[in-house]
Amino acid sequence: MSTTVLDGQSDEKLVRKPSVIRDYPPGIGRSTARIHPRAMFSRRFPSSRVSAIRDYPPLCGPNSLSQGKGNVSKGKLMDRNLSGGMEERKRKLDCLTPGDGSKAVLRTKDSLNHSKMNILKKREGNAASGGIGRKFSDVRRSHGYIVNVPLLRRGTRNTVRETMRWFQAVCRKLLQEEEAKLNSQAKAHRRIDLEAFKILKKEGKCVNVGKIFGSVPGVEVGDEFDYRIELNIVGLHHPSQAGIDYTTINGEHLATSIVSSGGYNDELDNSGVLTYSGHGGNVMCSKKKPEDQKLERGNLALKNSIKKKNPVRVIRGAFFGDGSRKRYVYDGLYEVETYWQEKGPHGKMIFRFQLQRIPNQPELPWIELKNSKMFTLRKGLIVADISHGKEELPIRAVNTIDNEKPPSFDYVTRMIYPDWLHPITAEGCNCTDRCSDPTRCSCAVKNGGIPFNHTGCIVEVKPLVYECGPSCKCPPDCYNRVSQRGIRFPLEIYKTDKRGWGVRAYCSIPSGSFVCEYIGELLEDKEAEQRTGHDEYLFDIGNNLINNSILSNESRPEGSDNGGGFTIDAARYGNVGRFFNHSCAPNMYAQNVLYDHGDCRIPHIMLFAAENIPPLKELTYDYNYSKDQIYDSDGNIKKKDCFCGSVGCTGRMY
């Protein structure tokens, strides 16, 4: 069987460190029994030297702590840009978590158990501090709810991404409330985008405030937005309706940005030339009589920009994916070259402006996708479907770097459990509809409500999600059946420059959408430690205590340890999830989900989009290795460079 090397990883044996005890919700995992923290470390961990195993980031998956009223002080956001003493306090708390506040620990020698206890105490202190320094933060509305969002490392780009994650999470929560109102036939508040904007603005979460010429810090070409108001939040385009944004310098109007939404039949071809119609004249208003457009305000600003040759940002409004919803995409910087007047569709004079895209900017993904559809075969296509028809959507393999083919493995679409493990099917709900009433659905009650919107997006990060399963009487299109339906976005694996094979989608993926399950063989940790050469494909799902009411000792293999945990090995048997690369600033996160059984020790590992992901953007999550905690066969610290290239990259994976 051939294998590939991701992120430059070698096959050299490493040593895995015993994981710091993670926090679980009441009644789950270690919370099923009351054990003193010191007793947890009393058992001796295996001293065999094994390879590094990826794990959940702090407060992700089982590490996610339930948010309570103490998480937010006086109804304010826990800001990452605090000032004065709070900033210093936060900086100190950030340092308490191994790996500069972003890494969970891996297994290593027993001699480090004392340090593990210190880390555990510091983590408990961090949790008690109200959420400062966490990998997940929250947004609180004045009338009560909290929304958890994945955080990123510091940096202007990451600040913009975090702001949009907050906005999108609040929108999903508001949408859920909207859906509840519709179900109860109450009057619904439909402008969730404006309400979310008010919340973020009140909390001072808007970035790049003020008019900016040229590129906006932290915003990249290809960034996608669901609402016009998001352009204001990140400082890309401030008017909520007007298509031309401008400012006045020395008494002269100059354009800063335009939104080409297609309402005026604006034309944009592959050469980067945009013909843009001016505003005004009641052209778009059916209730008013059309009139000639005037050379004033935004129109005058675009004319003046011809002489000044100042860059103008262009945001395109277009339909992507299934075409059901318009999104706004930042197209980059343009210069206004000329303008003229002509008779418009209503018989009145309108202004037309021609803009030319400034060279040496990244191309929009939609152009590459449009070009690829013009050909029968995609450039670099080497495998039409690596799943061999096992997925509903084919998963292509593309290589434009060299002649290497994907590694051989057995593609599976369901987890492979050991012969001795037979999880008992969980008791299901008695709903006959789509579980639209969370108070009547027993599965929804476990979650504290339906965790998904009617659009299929997860509302927020949770320690554990209970989906309706095979024992439930609800239909397959139930709102609480999302991740078990499989892959719904067209994915492809492709050869990267420095990181082996990666995964991307050739459509937009909305924030909160389910992307893929991490599938492979379920192994006990002891067996995983004995497998060599599988470094890149091991995912540790925890060291939970055995719940004997679910799994009796008689059903376990001889010699097994009741204190053991489980690991997913996707080296020999796996799905497309085995090809996802690591990133220090990932756009996905791992979420625990149960639906076909009730064993909390072995949840399904579901990967969800943490933000809006444009087409052809590499899909990544945090492998969560620890620096200076991985050892080679001689006991020396093993170091491995990180080539993710993200803002805030630590430069090392471990």
How many C-beta neighbours within 10 Å does residue 485 have? 13
Query: Above 70 in pLDDT, residue 137?
Result: no
Of 352, 366, 266, 263, the residue nearest 306 (C-alpha): 352
The sheet carrying 604-609 orders its strands as 465-466, 588-594, 604-609, 514-517
Report the SS3 class of residue 174: helix
Instruction: Determine contact, residues 337/357, Cβ cutoff 8 Å.
Output: no
Residues, the chain: 654
Through-space distance between the first and last CA atoms of the chain, rounded to whole angstroms: 27
Instruction: Determine contact, residues 281/292, Cβ cutoff 8 Å.
Output: yes
Task: Give the DSSP letter string of 219-267.
Answer: --TT-EESSHHHHHHTTS---SS-SEEEEEETTEEEEEEEEE-STT--E
| Phi–psi pair at 281, nearest 5 degrees | 80, 10
Mean pLDDT of the chain: 75
In angstroms, the Cα distances linking 278 to 253, 396, 584 are 15, 43, 43
Q: What is the pLDDT of residue 366?
A: 74
Which tokens belong to 237? Answer: 């385009």
User: pLDDT tens for residues 198-224?
Assistant: 999 988 889 998 889 999 999 999 999
Which tokens belong to 615? Answer: 């087409």
How many C-beta neighbours within 10 Å does residue 88 have? 11
User: pLDDT tens for residues 447-489?
Assistant: 999 999 999 999 999 889 999 999 999 999 999 999 999 999 9
Confidence class of residue 529 from pLDDT cuts 50, 70 and 90? confident
pTM (2 d.p.): 0.77
How many C-beta neighbours within 10 Å does residue 452 have? 23
The proportion of the chain whose per-residue pLDDT surpasses 90, expressed as a percent, equals: 48
Which tokens belong to 416? Answer: 């492979």
Instruction: Determine contact, residues 314/329, Cβ cutoff 8 Å.
Output: no
Of 184, 187, 178, 173, the residue nearest 145 (C-alpha): 173
- Alpha-carbon distance 57 to 61, whole Å? 8
The dihedral formed by the CA atoms of 290, 293, 299 and 300, expressed in degrees to the nearest 10: -150
Q: What is the pLDDT of residue 652?
A: 86
The dihedral formed by the CA atoms of 468, 471, 474 and 475, expressed in degrees to the nearest 10: 90
What is the arithmetic mean of pLDDT over 168-193?
80
User: pLDDT tens for residues 606-651?
Assistant: 999 999 999 999 999 998 877 777 776 677 888 888 999 888 888 8
How many C-beta neighbours within 10 Å does residue 654 have? 23
User: Which of the listed ranges 110-124, 319-333, 396-410 does the model predict with the highest average pLDDT?
Assistant: 396-410
Instruction: Determine contact, residues 515/619, Cβ cutoff 8 Å.
Output: yes
User: pLDDT tens for residues 385-416?
Assistant: 999 999 999 999 999 999 999 999 999 999 99
φ/ψ region of 559 (left if φ > 0, alpha if ψ in -120 to 50, else beta) reads: left
Residues β-bridged to residue 517: 606
- Alpha-carbon distance 562 to 548, whole Å? 9
DSSP state of 504: E
Of 630, 639, 610, the residue nearest 538 (C-alpha): 630
Q: What angle (nearest 5°) sits at the alpha carbon of residue 220, between those of residues 218 and 225?
A: 95
Q: What is the pLDDT of residue 136?
A: 46
Instruction: Determine contact, residues 18/113, Cβ cutoff 8 Å.
Output: yes
Report the SS3 class of residue 133: coil
Judged on CB neighbours under 10 Å (0-12, 13-18, 19+), 540 is: buried
Report the SS3 class of residue 157: helix
User: pLDDT tens for residues 415-442?
Assistant: 999 999 988 888 899 999 999 888 999 9
- Alpha-carbon distance 510 to 169, whole Å? 11
Residues β-bridged to residue 352: 277, 340
User: pLDDT tens for residues 532-591?
Assistant: 666 678 898 854 333 322 333 343 444 444 446 899 999 999 999 999 999 999 999 999
Instruction: Determine contact, residues 464/25, Cβ cutoff 8 Å.
Output: yes
How many C-beta neighbours within 10 Å does residue 30 have? 18
- Alpha-carbon distance 233 to 206, whole Å? 5
Which tokens belong to 486? Answer: 């499989």
| Phi–psi pair at 164, nearest 5 degrees | -70, -35
User: pLDDT tens for residues 269-308?
Assistant: 667 899 999 988 776 656 778 889 999 999 999 999 999 9
Our measurement of the distance from residue 50's CA atom to the centroid of its chain's CA atoms, rounded to an integer in Å, reads: 30
